[in-house]
Amino acid sequence: MAFNIAIDGPAGAGKSTIAKKAAEALSYIYVDTGAMYRAMALFFLREGIQPEDTEKIQRACEKIRVTLSNEKGEQQVFLNGENVNGQIRREEVGNMASATSSYREVREKLTQLQREMARTTDLIMDGRDIGTCVLPKAQVKIYLTASVETRGRRRFLELQEKGEDCDLEKICEDIRKRDEQDMNREIAPLRQAEDAVLIDSSEMTIQEVVDKILELVQKAAV
């Protein structure tokens, strides 16, 4: 049986940075499920579909095929065969992904694909519902969080480094809105699984969090 590590938590908690490093240390595949929701959101945006256009979203789901590949340790996401890695990181796409991930049709499509990957492959998968819904039997489950202020500040510095214009207050407001949407949707909302270990990274370095995860993996593997 494959060894699965589930990492869930709110936007900006550092899940992908940490999961990537832990996966590297373990020689596991890293699967970023948010990127899959973003690829679907990109399709809706391109089609001019609004998040509240229920019927259009349901119909569009039938036309979408999301696939992943791993190139030199980096996950690549394909939307109907097109590599969309470079386009899914925009704020607009993230907000659309948060809004449209509440649809059953969207979730079922991606959940199925995620379970299929985890069945045969040792991996670290991060998202919002991995420990609670996608992989309830994952051998290690982490709920990684940090305060809104810490997450906002990290995002602010990241954008500043890229030379982008940004406003800390607006970033924090977006984070609060995203938390609210992700935690309060009807299907598979973001919450800590009962058997998940809570890690609050507000006062921790990246390496400290990675080490904590590796320690949990070691314990679970014996």
- Given a contact cutoff of 8 angstroms between Cβ atoms, the answer to whether 132 and 190 are in contact is no
- 4 touching ligand DC, by CB under 6 A: no
Residue 178 within binding range of ligand DC, rule CB under 6 A? yes
Nearer to ligand DC, 10 or 217 (CB): 10
138 binds ligand DC (CB under 6 A): no
**Least distance from C-beta 222 to ligand DC, angstroms?**
29
How buried is 198 (Cβ within 10 angstroms: 0-12 exposed, 13-18 middle, 19+ buried)?
exposed
One residue of 5, 23, 30, 33 binding ligand DC per CB under 6 A: 33
Q: How far is CA 26 from the centre of its chain?
A: 20
C-beta separation of 204 from 198 below 8 A: no
Residues 16, 82 contacting (CB under 8 angstroms):
no
By C-beta, is 11 or 124 nearer to ligand DC? 11
- Within 8 A by CB and 6+ apart from 201, the residues are 13, 14, 18, 144, 145, 146, 150, 209
141 lines the binding site for ligand DC (CB under 6 A): no
Report H helices in 54-194: 54-61, 91-100, 104-120, 148-161, 168-184
Taking CB under 6 A as the binding criterion, the range among 127-135, 155-163, 168-176, 205-213 that sits at the site for ligand DC is 127-135
37 lies in the site for ligand DC, by CB under 6 A? yes
Residue 98 contacts ligand DC per CB under 6 A: yes
Size of the site for ligand DC (CB under 6 A): 15
70 vs 218, beta carbon nearer ligand DC:
70
Tell me, residue by residue from 50 to 89, as one string, x for binding to ligand DC by CB under 6 A and - for no binding.
----------------------------------------
**Cα 3 to Cα 14: distance, rounded to the nearest angstrom:** 22
Q: Which two tokens stand for residue 144?
A: 């990684």
Q: Decide: is 11 part of the binding site for ligand DC (CB under 6 A).
A: yes
CB of 127 to ligand DC, least distance (A): 2
- Of 94 and 216, CB closest to ligand DC: 94
Helices (H) and strands (E) in the chain, counts: 8, 8
CB-CB neighbours of 221 under 10 Å: 10
Rule CB under 6 A: which residues touch ligand DC? 11, 33-34, 37-38, 94, 97-98, 101, 127-130, 178, 182
